[in-house]
Chain A
Amino acid sequence: MSVRRVRGIELSDDPPFTRKSWKVERAGWIGLTLFLVAGFLGVLGPGLFSEVRRVDALGRFQAIYDRFGHFRSDATLHVVARAEGGEASVWIGDRYLEDVEITSVRPEPLKVRAEADGTTYLFATGGGERSVDVRFEITFQKSGVVKGRMGRSRDDTVSIRHFVYP
């Protein structure tokens, strides 16, 4: 840093650099504001408009989840599946399960069956309910794009896609 002599005092100030610095600072404030607004709106994680709803072609299965997540943070995958014969099933593909860890399932499934390319959760519906409302608590194990398929069975699925921030 060059030392400037200002009539009697030696000072390493730099007015042009200071002016640039103020501009960068103000730009930084705008950037910070935009960042917070984006966070509030749900672009950086769960927020106002981050929720996505995927419904299968016949409307018998729907998955509701946040489009954006945070690495190793918890999120909720909400599923509504039509019941048949007092039971409802939810199939989740292995590709999705490789990148997320299911930490809890509410209500408790009657049976969990591992299959060649996915896992089926079987739920009992009491009192003649026509559908089952399931909440999977998940933790993202990977950052970047996390995608997969889920549905009532492996032949009747919707695609799921999150972007997970590191």
Chain B
Amino acid sequence: MEIIVRAAAVYVIVWLLFRISGKRTLKEMTTFDFVLLLIISECTQQALIGKDYSVTGACMAVGTLLAVDIGLSLLKRRFKKVEKLLDNVPVLLIERGAVHSDRLRKERVDEDDILAAARELHGISRLDRIEYAILETSGAISIIPKPQPAAGSP
């Protein structure tokens, strides 16, 4: 019983912390971020199972985390507002070629991040060749290039 409550509480707390840390926190994962993630999981481990080192205890904790996750995914499908609240919404960073600097600042993204995504996804090396840049809910940046003029056109 206690493990179930602990696991559910840890799920909520971890969700809350990652929600306030913003979209870009874990997407730009460097080696250090990866190590940080491992340390975070180590910190939560004790709170999850306490001094119960049994296989049953571990199964209950994992089961609770998965059950909460599945339950929330069902809620998200049924109630779009819940989905918005839990996962946030995509943000347009470049709209019709115009850069929304305020949105970049608020989301802690800079033009270099957009250019990096543009290079990786489309081989684009200039900002003025991007029609739309979207910060997805996952923290990834999607790029839609400007349509290229047809070959031979003036």
- Name the contact of A1 in the complex, choosing from B17, B50, B84 (C-beta under 8 A): B84
In this complex, the interface size class of chain B, counting residues with CB under 8 Å from chain A, is 20 to 34
The prevalent SS among residues of B at the interface is: mixed
Q: Are B134 and A1 in contact (CB under 8 A)?
A: no
Told that A2-B80, A7-B96, A21-B88 touch, could you supply 11 new A-B pairs with CB distance under 8 A? Answer: A1-B80, A6-B92, A6-B132, A11-B90, A11-B92, A12-B89, A12-B90, A28-B16, A28-B19, A31-B20, A32-B17
Number of A positions contacting B (CB below 8 A) = 21
- Name the contact of B89 in the complex, choosing from A8, A17, A31 (C-beta under 8 A): A17
14 pairs, CB–CB < 8 Å, chain A vs chain B: A6-B92, A7-B96, A11-B90, A12-B89, A13-B91, A14-B84, A17-B89, A18-B88, A18-B89, A18-B103, A22-B106, A28-B19, A32-B20, A72-B51
Minimum CB–CB distance for A3 against chain B, Å: 11
What residue in chain A is nearest B95 (Cβ atoms)?
A: A6
Q: Does B144 contact A (CB under 8 A)?
A: yes
In the complex with contacts A1-B89, A13-B91, A18-B89, A72-B20 CB distance below 8 A: no
What residue in chain B is nearest A2 (Cβ atoms)?
A: B80
Minimum CB–CB distance for B23 against chain A, Å: 9
Q: Are A9 and B144 in contact (CB under 8 A)?
A: yes
Q: Does A24 contact B (CB under 8 A)?
A: yes
Q: Does A25 contact B (CB under 8 A)?
A: yes
Q: Which residues of B contact A17 (CB under 8 A)?
A: 84, 89
Q: Does A29 contact B (CB under 8 A)?
A: yes
Minimum CB–CB distance for A69 against chain B, Å: 15
Distance in angstroms between the alpha carbons of A118 and B149 in the assembled complex:
90
What residue in chain A is nearest B132 (Cβ atoms)?
A: A9
Minimum CB–CB distance for B46 against chain A, Å: 9
Q: Which of B20, B22, B84, B90 has the most CB of A within 10 A?
A: B20
In the complex with contacts A1-B83, A6-B132, A11-B134, A28-B20 CB distance below 8 A: yes
Distance in angstroms between the alpha carbons of A31 and B51 in the assembled complex:
30
Minimum CB–CB distance for A163 against chain B, Å: 18
Minimum CB–CB distance for B42 against chain A, Å: 16
What residue in chain A is nearest B147 (Cβ atoms)?
A: A8
Minimum CB–CB distance for B84 against chain A, Å: 6
Q: Which residues of A contact B84 (CB under 8 A)?
A: 1, 14, 17
Q: Which residues of B contact A22 (CB under 8 A)?
A: 106
Q: Are B22 and A25 in contact (CB under 8 A)?
A: yes
Minimum CB–CB distance for B36 against chain A, Å: 16
Minimum CB–CB distance for B153 against chain A, Å: 20
Minimum CB–CB distance for B55 against chain A, Å: 21
What residue in chain A is nearest B9 (Cβ atoms)?
A: A166
What residue in chain A is nearest B5 (Cβ atoms)?
A: A166
Q: Which residues of A contact B51 (CB under 8 A)?
A: 72
Q: Which residues of A contact B80 (CB under 8 A)?
A: 1-2
